[in-house]
Amino acid sequence: MLLDPTNERTILERLLLPRPATLHGKTVGLLDISKPRGDVFLDRLEQRLIAVGANVLRFKKPTFAKPAPVDLRHEIATKCEVVIEALAD
Protein backbone atom coordinates (compact mmCIF):
# COMPACT_ATOMS: atom_id res chain seq x y z
CA MET A 1 0.00 0.00 0.00
CA LEU A 2 1.45 3.35 -1.07
CA LEU A 3 0.34 6.92 -0.49
CA ASP A 4 -0.61 9.05 -3.48
CA PRO A 5 1.98 11.81 -4.04
CA THR A 6 -0.23 13.83 -6.40
CA ASN A 7 -2.81 16.54 -5.79
CA GLU A 8 -5.55 13.93 -6.34
CA ARG A 9 -7.55 16.30 -8.47
CA THR A 10 -9.67 15.17 -11.35
CA ILE A 11 -8.89 17.33 -14.31
CA LEU A 12 -11.93 19.18 -15.55
CA GLU A 13 -12.07 19.08 -19.32
CA ARG A 14 -13.62 22.13 -20.88
CA LEU A 15 -14.96 21.88 -24.40
CA LEU A 16 -14.09 24.54 -26.92
CA LEU A 17 -16.95 26.78 -27.93
CA PRO A 18 -18.29 26.13 -31.44
CA ARG A 19 -16.25 27.93 -34.08
CA PRO A 20 -18.16 31.04 -35.27
CA ALA A 21 -19.33 30.82 -38.87
CA THR A 22 -18.13 34.35 -39.50
CA LEU A 23 -16.09 36.97 -37.65
CA HIS A 24 -18.21 39.77 -39.15
CA GLY A 25 -19.60 41.85 -36.29
CA LYS A 26 -17.91 39.72 -33.67
CA THR A 27 -15.64 41.20 -31.00
CA VAL A 28 -12.18 39.66 -31.20
CA GLY A 29 -9.70 40.15 -28.34
CA LEU A 30 -5.99 40.18 -29.19
CA LEU A 31 -3.83 39.33 -26.18
CA ASP A 32 -0.21 40.41 -26.33
CA ILE A 33 1.78 38.35 -23.81
CA SER A 34 4.55 41.00 -23.76
CA LYS A 35 7.15 39.03 -25.66
CA PRO A 36 9.28 41.06 -28.07
CA ARG A 37 7.70 41.41 -31.51
CA GLY A 38 4.40 39.87 -30.48
CA ASP A 39 2.91 43.28 -31.30
CA VAL A 40 4.16 43.02 -34.89
CA PHE A 41 2.17 39.84 -35.35
CA LEU A 42 -0.93 41.24 -33.63
CA ASP A 43 -0.86 44.54 -35.57
CA ARG A 44 -1.09 42.58 -38.80
CA LEU A 45 -3.85 40.37 -37.43
CA GLU A 46 -5.78 43.45 -36.36
CA GLN A 47 -5.66 44.83 -39.91
CA ARG A 48 -6.89 41.53 -41.34
CA LEU A 49 -9.68 41.19 -38.78
CA ILE A 50 -10.96 44.71 -39.30
CA ALA A 51 -10.97 44.00 -43.03
CA VAL A 52 -13.44 41.15 -42.48
CA GLY A 53 -15.70 43.29 -40.34
CA ALA A 54 -14.62 42.22 -36.84
CA ASN A 55 -14.38 44.59 -33.89
CA VAL A 56 -10.92 44.30 -32.34
CA LEU A 57 -9.93 44.93 -28.73
CA ARG A 58 -6.29 44.82 -27.68
CA PHE A 59 -5.07 43.45 -24.33
CA LYS A 60 -1.62 42.98 -22.87
CA LYS A 61 -0.23 40.86 -20.05
CA PRO A 62 2.03 42.78 -17.63
CA THR A 63 4.79 40.18 -18.16
CA PHE A 64 5.17 37.14 -20.36
CA ALA A 65 6.74 35.32 -17.42
CA LYS A 66 3.55 34.99 -15.37
CA PRO A 67 0.00 33.88 -16.10
CA ALA A 68 -2.47 36.60 -17.10
CA PRO A 69 -3.96 38.26 -14.01
CA VAL A 70 -7.45 37.05 -13.17
CA ASP A 71 -8.98 40.52 -13.73
CA LEU A 72 -7.56 40.64 -17.23
CA ARG A 73 -8.92 37.18 -18.02
CA HIS A 74 -12.31 38.22 -16.70
CA GLU A 75 -12.30 41.42 -18.77
CA ILE A 76 -11.47 39.50 -21.94
CA ALA A 77 -14.15 36.89 -21.23
CA THR A 78 -16.72 39.62 -20.60
CA LYS A 79 -15.96 41.80 -23.60
CA CYS A 80 -14.98 39.36 -26.33
CA GLU A 81 -16.54 36.51 -28.24
CA VAL A 82 -13.25 35.31 -29.71
CA VAL A 83 -9.69 35.66 -28.38
CA ILE A 84 -6.33 35.27 -30.10
CA GLU A 85 -3.18 35.05 -27.99
CA ALA A 86 0.16 35.91 -29.53
CA LEU A 87 2.97 33.70 -28.43
CA ALA A 88 6.53 34.44 -29.30
CA ASP A 89 10.11 33.01 -29.16
Partner 1 sequence: MADRANAQRPTLPDGLVVIVKRECETCQMIAPLLQQLDATVYTQDDPEFPADVSSIHDADLSVSWHHEIETVPTLIRIINGEEIERTVGWLRSDWQRITGIDTLGDDLPVMRPGCGSMSVDPNLVDMLRARFGDSALRSRRIELAELDDEMEVLFDRGVTDGLPVVPPTEQRVLRMLQGTTRAPDDIVAIVAPDLVEVSVEKVAINAVMAGCKPEYLPWVIAALEAVCTDEFNIHGVLATTMPVGPVLICNGPGTRAIGMNSGVNVLGQGNRANSTIGRAVQLIVRNVGGGRPGEVDRAAHGNPGKVGFCFAENDAGSPFTSLAVSRGFSADDNTVTVFAGEGPRVIVDQLARDPDQLANTFAACLRTAHHPKLVLGFDCLLVVGPEHGHVFAEAGWDRDRLLAELHARLQLHGADLVRGAGDMAEGVPDWLAGETLPKFRPDGLLLTYAGGGAGLFSAMIGGWANGSTGSRPVTRRVVP
Contacts to partner 1 by CB under 8 A: 1-9, 34, 62-67, 89
CA atoms within 13 A on the CB side of 11: 4
Residue 7 or 22 having the CB closest to partner 1:
7
CB neighbourhood size of 37 (10 A): 10
- Could you tell me the smallest distance in angstroms from the CB atom of residue 6 to partner 1? 5
Residue 57 or 88 having the CB closest to partner 1:
88
- Could you tell me the smallest distance in angstroms from the CB atom of residue 80 to partner 1? 23
Residue 27 or 34 having the CB closest to partner 1:
34
Residue 82 or 88 having the CB closest to partner 1:
88
Tell me 32's DSSP state.
E
Q: Are 72 and 59 in contact (CB under 8 A)?
A: yes
- Could you tell me the smallest distance in angstroms from the CB atom of residue 81 to partner 1? 27
Tell me 66's DSSP state.
S
Q: What are phi and psi of 78, to 5 degrees?
A: -75, -40
